[in-house]
Amino acid sequence: MSDSDTTTGSAGTEGNDSYGHKPFKRSRSHFADRITADGRDGWPVEAGRYRLVVSRACPWASRALVSRRLLGLEDALSLAVADPIQDDRSWRFTLDPDGADPVLGIHHLSEAYDAREHGYPGGVSVPAIVDVPSGKLVTNDYQQITLDLATEWTALHRPGAPDLYPEPLRAEIDEVMEGIYRDVNNGVYKAGFASSQQEYDAAYEALFARLDEASARLADRRYLVGDTITEADIRFFTTLVRFDPVYHGHFKCNRNKLAEDPVLWAYARDLYQTPGFGDTVDFDHIKRHYYQVHTGINPTGIVPLGPDLSRWTTPHHRAQLGGRPFGDGTPPGPVPPGERVPPAHTV
């Protein structure tokens, strides 16, 4: 991640309406302990010990949802899904019976932050991984969480799990991800929360220049780096899947829709239709979160009915480019029954 895009301070700059006249700055994750095979930060990889807390609305949390599915970590790392609409105490478990997460027994994610650091004054963000026995937050470091799932949790991966961060390709993956992070993943937020015309213009130009570059790159290759799905594709996907439903209108990223770029649209549909990607996507949570929470840029809170999402499942014809989605591995199995996105929230 480029330092110019971050600052210390409270997380979730986009989650409130006080972005006022300051340029949009994404907070640096505050709790950056790592869960590793050797447990060097005091948090060893262990089946059943940790709980991943996400909102299906959040692109950063959705990276972890996809990685966890592709790697087959569903049994090892359990999942809590927060209500897409935060209240004044931030993310809450109102989708669960009695409004409490059934494993952690808490009503708000902030309780896990507090258990870790009493009186924690910063923002409460997802993704978060919580240590179940102590109820303490371990990490909300969204940039590191998926890399660690790919490289530190290997002992618990399913047989046939892909290598999402292959050693020989890491330099290239990192380089591609850095540009996509700055101009696309975070770029849409910079456009959406710009507080001056100049700031918006710059974010818009950088965003579409980067999308054009990616479109050219993907015209004759199936995936961003190498010939298999990697972390770079996961990070790109979670922004692309939100593009037409949210970023095009709500964040004013409207030079064109994703569906108007034949290459990127086919690439995104290819991933969407790959087990582990589309089956994590909840369009209802995505739309309601952005349009109802960001009242500073959508004061009425009205959630648009469009776009028509049914085309996400149309043929993409990308297999003809070759590529081996899972390398020498295999696709993940079905979504565990308790984790299925309600059919009404999908295409």
Ligand X SMILES: N[C@@H](CCC(=O)N[C@@H](CS)C(=O)NCC(=O)O)C(=O)O
* Known binding-site positions for glutathione: 91
253 catalytic per annotation? no
Whether residue 58 lies in the annotated active site = yes
Least Å from the CB of residue 114 to ligand X: 15
In whole angstroms, give the CA distance from residue 230 to residue 248: 26
Does residue number 12 form part of the binding site for ligand X (CB under 6 A)? yes
Output 193 or 326, the one with its CB closest to ligand X: 193
- Supply the minimum distance, in Å, between the C-beta of residue 123 and ligand X: 5
Q: Which of 19, 50, 181, 189 is catalytic?
A: 189
Per CB under 6 A, the list member of 24, 27, 49, 164 interacting with ligand X is 27
Establish if 26 lies at the interface with ligand X (CB under 6 A): yes
Task: Indicate which single residue of 5, 25, 29, 250 sits in contact with ligand X (rule: CB under 6 A).
Answer: 29
With binding defined as CB under 6 A, does residue 142 bind ligand X?
Answer: yes
The DSSP string of 44-110 is B--TTTEEEEE-TT-HHHHHHHHHHHHHT-TTTSEEEE--SS-BTTBSB-TTSGGGS-TTT--SBTH
Contact call for residues 49 and 132 (beta carbons, < 8 A):
yes
Around Cβ 205, how many Cβ atoms within 10 Å?
14
Q: Which of 217, 289, 277, 282 is nearest to 247 (CA)?
A: 289
Q: Which of 58, 181, 247, 267 is catalytic?
A: 58
Judged by CB, which is closer to ligand X: 17, or 308? 17
Angstrom distance (rounded) from CA 42 to CA 35: 8
Using CB under 6 A, pick the residue from 81, 126, 150, 229 that binds ligand X: 126
Q: 127: cis peptide before it, omega within 30°?
A: yes
Tokens, residue 311: 């085309």
Count of other CB atoms within 10 angstroms of residue 299: 9
140 binds ligand X (CB under 6 A): yes
* Number of residues forming the site for ligand X (CB under 6 A): 16
Written as one string, the DSSP assignment of 161-187 is: ---SS-GGGHHHHHHHHHHHIIIIITH
Restricting to residues 50-89, name those near ligand X by CB under 6 A. 58, 60, 86
Residue set of the binding site: 91
**Is residue 15 a contact residue for ligand X (CB under 6 A)?**
yes
Active site residues: 58, 189
- Per CB under 6 A, residues contacting ligand X are 11-12, 15, 26-27, 29, 58, 60, 86, 90, 123-126, 140, 142
